[in-house]
C-alpha cells in the first residue's frame, strides 16, 4: 500500500530486449523491416479499397477498417521499441505509457471484434447469398464499424482509467518493450483487484465470446460448403473466406498465448515473444494474406501498379 513518504513514479524504464545486447542490431533490422512492410501493406490496402470500384463491398470495407487498426497497433508499439533498441536508456513518461496502453488496447480489441463481424459477413455471403445485399446494407456495415470502434474505445478508456488510479512507487522497470496491463499491474503498490477483474471480463468477452461467435459462423459456413454439389462452387465459396480464416487463426493464437493466463503466472520472456506476434507480425502478414490469396485485390493492385500483374 502506498504511503505519503513514498515517491510516486513519473517515468518508467522499458526493459525492452536489453537482456540480449548481442541481438540489438538484428532486432532493430527486423522491427524496422516489419514496420515498413506493415505500414506499406496496410496503406496500400486502404488505397486499393477506397479507389477501386470493384472493391466497394462489405468484405473490403471491413478489410479497410482492419488495415487501419493494424496501422494504429504497430504505430503505438514499434517506433518506441525501435528507439529503445538504438538508445542506451529507454524511458517513457507515465502519461506516454498510458497513451500507449490506450491505443494498443483500443486497436487490439477492435481487431478481435472486427474479425467476428467479418466472420458474420462471410456467413451471410455463403449461407444466405440471395439476401446478402439486403442484410449487409451500407447503413448496417457503417453502424457495425462505428460500433466496433466505439465499444473498443470505451474498453480502452476503462482499462487506462483504472490504471491511472493506481499508485506506482517503485520499482519502475517495465519487463516489456511497451506498456501492457500485466507488467504494469505487477509494479503497482496499490490494490489491483478491480483491474484484474476488469481484465478477466475483457478477456472473456474479446477472447471467449468473440471466438465462440467466429467459430459458430465458420461452423455454418463449412456445413454450407459441404452441402454444395459442384466442386467449383465449393472451391469458390472456400476461397472467399480462406484469407479471413488464416488471419483469425494467426491472430487468436497469438492473443491467447499473450493474455489468457492469470497475472500471477506472467512470464516476461513469453509475453515479449507473443506480443511480437500480435502487435508486429500479424499486422504485417494481414495485407500479404489478403493480397496473395484474393483475386479481386490482385486485380485492383494490377491496375494501380501495372508492374505487379506481370
Q: What is the pLDDT of residue 3?
A: 47
Q: What is the pLDDT of residue 261?
A: 56
Q: What is the pLDDT of residue 7?
A: 52
- Residue reference for cell 454450407: 224
Contact yes or no for 128/135 (Cβ under 8 A): yes
Q: What is the pLDDT of residue 299?
A: 78
Walk along the chain (310 residues) in steps of 10 and give the mean pLDDT of each run.
Answer: 56 83 86 93 90 84 93 93 85 92 94 92 89 91 95 96 89 86 88 91 86 90 84 77 81 71 61 80 84 73 62
Q: What is the pLDDT of residue 263?
A: 52
Instruction: Determine the Cα angle at 282 with ends 73 and 300, to 5°.
Output: 95
Whole-angstrom Cα distance, residue 130 to residue 249? 29
Tell me the CA end-to-end span of the chain in Å, nearest whole number. 66
Q: Tell me if residue 11 falls in helix, strand or coil.
A: strand
Q: What is the pLDDT of residue 275?
A: 81
Q: Which residues pair with 116 in a beta bridge?
A: none
Contact yes or no for 173/15 (Cβ under 8 A): yes
Contact yes or no for 192/32 (Cβ under 8 A): no
* pTM score of the predicted model: 0.87
Q: Give the distance from CA 59 to its chain's centroid.
A: 18
Q: Which residues pair with 173 in a beta bridge?
A: 13
Amino acid at each position: 500500500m502506498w504511503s505519503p513518504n513514498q515517491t510516486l513514479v513519473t517515468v518508467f524504464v522499458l526493459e525492452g530486449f536489453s537482456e540480449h545486447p548481442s541481438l540489438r542490431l538484428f532486432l532493430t533490422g527486423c522491427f524496422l523491416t516489419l514496420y515498413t512492410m506493415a505500414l506499406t501493406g496496410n496503406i496500400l490496402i486502404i488505397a486499393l479499397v477506397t479507389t477501386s470500384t470493384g472493391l466497394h463491398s462489405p468484405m473490403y470495407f471491413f478489410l479497410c477498417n482492419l488495415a487501419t487498426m493494424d496501422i494504429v497497433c504497430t504505430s503505438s508499439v514499434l517506433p518506441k521499441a525501435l528507439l529503445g533498441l538504438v538508445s542506451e536508456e529507454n524511458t517513457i513518461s507515465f502519461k506516454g505509457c498510458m497513451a500507449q496502453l490506450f491505443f494498443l488496447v483500443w486497436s487490439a480489441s477492435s481487431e478481435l471484434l472486427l474479425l467476428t463481424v467479418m466472420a458474420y459477413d462471410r456467413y451471410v455471403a455463403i449461407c444466405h447469398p440471395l439476401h446478402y445485399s439486403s442484410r449487409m446494407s451500407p447503413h448496417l456495415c457503417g453502424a457495425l464499424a462505428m460500433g466496433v470502434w466505439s465499444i473498443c474505445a470505451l474498453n480502452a478508456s476503462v482499462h487506462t482509467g483504472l490504471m491511472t488510479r493506481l499508485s506506482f512507487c517503485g520499482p519502475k522497470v517495465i519487463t516489456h518493450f511497451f506498456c501492457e496491463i500485466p507488467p504494469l499491474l505487477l509494479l503497482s503498490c496499490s490494490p489491483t483487484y478491480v483491474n484484474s477483474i476488469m481484465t478477466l471480463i475483457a478477456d472473456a468477452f474479446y477472447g471467449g465470446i468473440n471466438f465462440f461467435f467466429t467459430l459458430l459462423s465458420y461452423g455454418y459456413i463449412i456445413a454450407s460448403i459441404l452441402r454444395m454439389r459442384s466442386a467449383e462452387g465449393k472451391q469458390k465459396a472456400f476461397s472467399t473466406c480462406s484469407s479471413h480464416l488464416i488471419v483469425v487463426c494467426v491472430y487468436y493464437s497469438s492473443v491467447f498465448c499473450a493474455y489468457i493466463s492469470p497475472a500471477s503466472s506472467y512470464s516476461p520472456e513469453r509475453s515479449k515473444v507473443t506480443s511480437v506476434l500480435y502487435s508486429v507480425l500479424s499486422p504485417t502478414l494481414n495485407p500479404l494474406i489478403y493480397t496473395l490469396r484474393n483475386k479481386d485485390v490482385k486485380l485492383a493492385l494490377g491496375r494501380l501498379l501495372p508492374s505487379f500483374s506481370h
